[in-house]
Amino acid sequence: MSGSRNIVVLTGAGISAESGVDTFRDEGGIWSQVRLEDVATPEGFAADPVRVQSFYNARRAQLPLVEPNPAHFALARLEREFEGSVMIVTQNIDDLHERAGSQKVIHMHGELKKALCCACKKSFPHESDLSLEEACPKCGQVGTLRPDVVWFGEMPYQMDRIYDLLRHCDLFLSVGTSGNVYPAAQFVQEAGQHGAHTIEINLEPSLGVSDFEDTRHGKAGELLPIFVDELLTGSYHF
Ligand code: BV8
């Protein structure tokens, strides 16, 4: 395996499913419990900020109760042991990749453990419940804090950097995402058009399955450790 090769890994809610974190669109998933429009849009936040704060407070409070699973640990091993570069671009807002040991992680949809001030636009770590009575530690204004997550209709983070990574990677691996949400759902085409080998590892075929050159369907916690072994031993050719 030559050292100059680059791997980009896109992850979605499915990689955290075996850790006990709800996905969005599976049976009983988050969007079957609450309307996306009400809790994951700027309009929903403006209409009922208390409802949105409590939706994210409940998900943030769950983080200490869940653990990374073998899929997260497999990607952290890949980053440590692969001769080239490994970058995770995650749609997830949990901290499980970092807790499994991954150091190169881009949270394109933000992070539950960060807050953003609507007034001064500063983001900062925030692990407890967010409330409207809280003052921004940066500008001092009260009632301007929101979860630092990217809602529908908002620009995902670090898009220029992500597209640059996609255009220069040799392997694009997508794990645990249904391919519903853009622009993440288009990344496989961007990578493939620039010469990357593309593979999907997902419980079931995603909406974008036909864009991938290779697919493996099953649980990420079972399939990813095997796949990482194949990458590290060179038995998976790309
Ligand atoms: C934007 C917030 C402009 C935090 C989220 C066409 C082009 C461009 C945009 C659009 C378009 N059409 C519509 C849009 C707008 C919209 C969009 O995509 N809407 C969808 C609903 C149609 N997109 C946006 O608004 C985005 N912004 O477009 O800005 C722009 C355009 C171009 C370039 C730059 C900017 C902003 C989107 C971000 C929204 N915020 N989250 C939060 O609350 O979490 S999205 C939300 O969905 C989560 O982040 C989640 O991660 C994400 C994607 O869901 P998945 O991760 O895929 O989860 P899902 O449940 O769907 O699937 C789980 C999968 O795992 C399943 O396939 C299942 O089979 C599998 N699985 C389950 N268990 C396992 C497993 N796999 C393996 N092992 C297991 N054990």
148 lines ligand 1 (CB under 6 A): no
Q: What average pLDDT does range 215-221 have in this prediction?
A: 98
Per-residue pLDDT band at 3 (split at 50, 70, 90): low
Asked if 228 contacts 213 with a C-beta cutoff of 8 angstroms, the reply is no
- 220 in contact with ligand 1, CB cutoff 6 A: yes
pLDDT in tens, 35-67: 999 999 999 999 999 999 999 999 999 999 999
120 marked as binding residue: yes
The model's confidence at residue 94, banded by pLDDT at 50, 70 and 90, is very high
Ligand 1 centre to CA of 40 (Å) is 11
Residue 10 in tokens: 């896109």
What is the layout of strands, in order, in the sheet containing 214-217?
105-107, 85-90, 6-11, 171-175, 197-202, 214-217
Mean confidence (pLDDT) of the chain? 96
Q: Which fold has domain 1-21+68-109+156-237?
A: Rossmann fold (3.40.50)
User: What is the pLDDT confidence band of residue 4, given thresholds at 50, 70 and 90?
Assistant: confident
pLDDT of 119-172, one tens digit each? 999 999 999 999 999 999 999 999 999 999 999 999 999 999 999 999 999 999
The question of whether 109 is a catalytic residue gets the answer yes
Identify which has the larger pLDDT, 3 or 203.
203
Residue spans per domain, the chain = 1-21+68-109+156-237, 23-65+111-149
What confidence category does residue 1 fall into, taking pLDDT thresholds of 50, 70 and 90? Answer: very low
Q: What is the pLDDT of residues 183-192, one digit of tens each?
A: 999 999 999 9
Surface-to-core class of residue 88, CB atoms within 10 Å of its CB (0-12 exposed, 13-18 middle, 19+ buried) = buried
CA of 184 to the centre of ligand 1 (A): 7
178 is in an annotated binding site: yes
Is residue 17 a known part of a binding site?
yes
Sequence-distant (6+) residues with CB within 8 A of 195 are: 170
Its CATH architecture, for the domain 23-65+111-149, is 2-Layer Sandwich (3.30)
Cβ of residue 34 lying under 6 Å from some atom of ligand 1: no
Amino acid at 168: H
pLDDT tens, residue by residue, 28-38: 999 899 999 99
